[in-house]
Structure 1
């Protein structure tokens, strides 16, 4: 028996939707200063992009050191997701890419707090984005550019 293409298409779509609904969102665990608002904005960015975020308001220096992230890559918050470290305002798109590609690495970092990065895109800056790089952190302490974001005025 041959089924109509429209039926097969709709059945496939339904199966895809059901599968997507059963896949749990990756959980991000975030360490931040209790008074830092940009960290909360980054957490919102991650949640808006399908991640679940668990927040620890205990500061991040101890966690950063425990994960092996050297201070030169430091930022205002540290997070983990599926065994990877995330330092600073890493865009959700790059975290999703990391989880797809699964490189043998420590994780990702956006050092400092570049204006225009997720969480640092406050309306006060009027759409400005300073150029910044997302770095792939290696376990030996080295890094390479994972993705560059250009300046926007």
Structure 2
């Protein structure tokens, strides 16, 4: 009788949802052009670093970025939303973690363009990456980090 009780109890425990195990990553939603493969590479890079990324192909990427406060000259090839921030372009994960830990009063950050060697991009890094802070008040972006 004890064995049966043990087995039934063990089975019941295995069927219970465990929030800590079910929700371990930082949730992110990444909007990208349907034809862009480097954005999929960036999403994979984020997943390898503990993020839960939902990828949403769109033909309105420039409009999504603009509405999120990313000036045209500072846009990357995809726009992501994480914990109330916009993150545009191939921003290294350590800078994303810094943003989420510091929680500055900004709209988000961006690495404009598609720099060679940035996360998700092919090639070798040939220059410093300049990541800009996007303000909430329409002021010009300022340097947030260099990598």
Q: Which interval holds the TM-score relative to the shorter structure?
A: 0.7 to 0.9
Shift of 1:128: 3.7
TM-score (norm 2): 0.79
Shift of 1:62: 2.1
Return closer, same or farther for 1:92/1:78 CA change in 2, 3 Å cut-off. Answer: same
Aligned partners of 1:46 and 1:62: how far apart in 2? 24
State whether structure 2 residue 142 is matched by structure 1 residue 144: yes
- State the Cα deviation string for residues 16-64 of structure 1 (Å, max 9, x = none): xxxx757631111011011101101110111111111001111311211
| RMSD (Å) for aligned C-alpha atoms | 1.9
TM-score (norm 1): 0.76
Aligned residues: 128
Shift of 1:143: 1.8
| Aligned twin of 1:16 | none
Which residues of 2 match residues 2-151 of structure 1 at below 5 A?
21=21, 24-59=24-59, 60-120=61-121, 122=122, 125=123, 127-141=124-138, 142-149=140-147
Point out where structure 2 has 5 or more consecutive residues left out of the alignment.
1-19
